[in-house]
Structure 1
Amino acid sequence: MTTTPIKELPPGRHRLTIDSDDREREFWVYIPTQAQQPEAGWPLVFVFHGGLSNAPTMVRFCEMNEYADAAGFVTVFPNGTGRLPTMKTWNAGMCCGYAQREDVNDVHFVELLLADLPRRMAIDPTRIYSTGMSNGGMMSYLLGDKLADRFAAIAPVGGTMGNPTCSPSRPVPLMHIHGTDDQFVRWEGGVGSRSKSKLHFHSVDHAMENWIAANRAQTTPSIESLPVEVNDGTSIERFIYAADGSDSAEVVLLKVHGGGHTWPGKESRLELLGPTTRNLDANQAIWEFFQRHRLPN
């Protein structure tokens, strides 16, 4: 692909397309209107929607773009693939749906975006991150594994690993957020009572064990109970598996006791997703985690 610069995008929202493996793929870019661009270029956060959802729905679901506008980073909401415009999925290993059945190469799609976006705006290549919900969290796990040299850190929410193992080319800092009452992607793994796919998902423990080993992190965590500021039936425990030397990276787990298949801090309009905690702001927690990590120069 050519690296010739194209017209720079102004601040605001942009719906864009790119050709990827004979498919026209959509993605939405939000460039801050309040914050100033850092001298080294914008930090970049990919935000992946859940299965049977799409990018515009994810924008409303998590509102990460609004947080980014003041915090000072660019958000990119890519669209998965599917037969219906509002029901898209990602091929993130064992899951999910159309994208998996059609063997869509979503890692290649992201590689194309990583090549395209710096032609449209100034991006700091040491500060590129990924988060996502459910199937989008699984996609973040896959990118951390397959594109470890491009992503400074990942932060899946409500989505476990889609593959049985991982072998990133370097330790990739990881923060995972998950509710104990998630009935779609169960904490314990297996088939959730409200799962649409009826797949046997891997457990949260499976993801932690694999990434603690891959990151060569300490195996005994420090554990902290966060303050319960809202009496909504939820509470948060933070487990930190610290980096163990220079060739290592931390693994952080935020266990949302009583939380459902939701984005902490953002009330879901769908009751079937379960309870949303107001004792954690996922957007703030994710960005604070990302800010601690850069790719080595």
Structure 2
Amino acid sequence: MRRGVALGLVGVLVLAVGACGRDRAPDPTPSNGAAGRVAEYTVTVDGRDRHYRAYTPAGDTAGRPVVVFLHGGGGTGELFERVSHLDRVADEGGFVVVYPDGSGRLGDKLLTWNAGDCCAYAKDRNIDDVAFVGALIDDVTARLGTGAVFVTGFSNGAMMTYRLGCELADRIAAIAVVSGAMNLDTCRPERKLPVLIMHGTADTAVPYDGGPSSDEFPTAGTWTNRSVRYAVDFWTAHNACAGPPVETKDQEVTRTAYTCEKAVILYTIEGGGHGWPGGAKARPNAVEPTPPRPDASRVVWDFFKAQL
């Protein structure tokens, strides 16, 4: 993380599908300051019980957009619900947020996503996280009657977001990746897909220019991260981008927008480390400071909203 940081541990990897719910009442005073309702559900995929949290703002959920948030490696959906403050944005924007959990050998601890060549338990056991997210989309749609589905993620969750963009493009309206690398040997999306990428230049966990993480984390395995440029080049080619991009700079944040059939936008945070920009630290002793700007949750939602 820090091989551990690269997984998001401190900065903070034909199916029978069934479903059952375990719904709980919202906290009287939610710790993240949101005002809606949280419920917890389980879907069974390939014989495994997989869990997710759903945050719904007040009012009818029918037809509302859904944002699926994939936590960083070593974290949980509940942790990154608090870290991202995305529920507050959902209250304002009127969308549903879903926080699924990855898998791990210690039950509900040190959870990761199988994002290709990373990470840890999910990769080692070849967990079918693509099938899980597909089943989750089915379950949320059936329960809540929701509309368009978007996916975002951090670190190992961002790597998984890229994989979903490659393999579930027919079911996802757009993706947004934060501090993650596109570490995939093949990517053949079924359609052009809007993509937002956000990454700090001082990220030593998933380096902006690619390469290994700056430290060793024995249980995570080994891999080499591809650069941000690799991902940008892939999606601008896939989305038939043409002409020079439009670049705007706001202090340390540079926004680069490409002219494409489907949007490709890059946010580069000069000096930014490995964290969800504008959010809280995943834990107080995180090795790299969380970039204070931009507010990633609002930027991501504004991008998704523009695709509706």
TM-score by length of 1: 0.87
Structure-2 separation of matches of 1:25 and 1:278: 33
Structure-1 separation of matches of 2:290 and 2:104: 28
- 1:42-53 residue pairs with structure 2 within 5 A? 42-53=64-75
Match of 1:242 among 259, 281, 292: 259
Unaligned segments of structure 2, at least 5 residues: 1-15, 26-35
Structure-2 separation of matches of 1:2 and 1:79: 17
Contact 2:22/2:39, CA 8 A, preserved across alignment: no
Structure-2 separation of matches of 1:30 and 1:221: 36
- 1:1-297 residue pairs with structure 2 within 5 A? 12-33=37-58, 36-37=59-60, 41-84=63-106, 85-124=108-147, 127-194=148-215, 196=217, 197=220, 198-218=222-242, 220-226=244-250, 228=251, 235-243=252-260, 248-268=261-281, 269-294=283-308
1:276 deviation in Å? 2.4
Contact 1:82/1:88, CA 8 A, preserved across alignment: yes
Corresponding residue SS for 2:105: strand
Instruction: Encode CA deviations 1:92-145: one digit per residue, 9 max, x unaligned.
Output: 111111111101100101111111112211211xx2100010010011111111
Structure-1 separation of matches of 2:236 and 2:24: 39
Corresponding residue SS for 1:18: strand
Q: Give the total of aligned pairs.
A: 278
Corresponding residue SS for 2:294: coil
Q: CA RMSD in A?
A: 2.4
Corresponding residue SS for 2:50: strand
Contact 1:167/1:214, CA 8 A, preserved across alignment: no
Contact 1:224/1:237, CA 8 A, preserved across alignment: yes
Structure-2 separation of matches of 1:147 and 1:56: 24
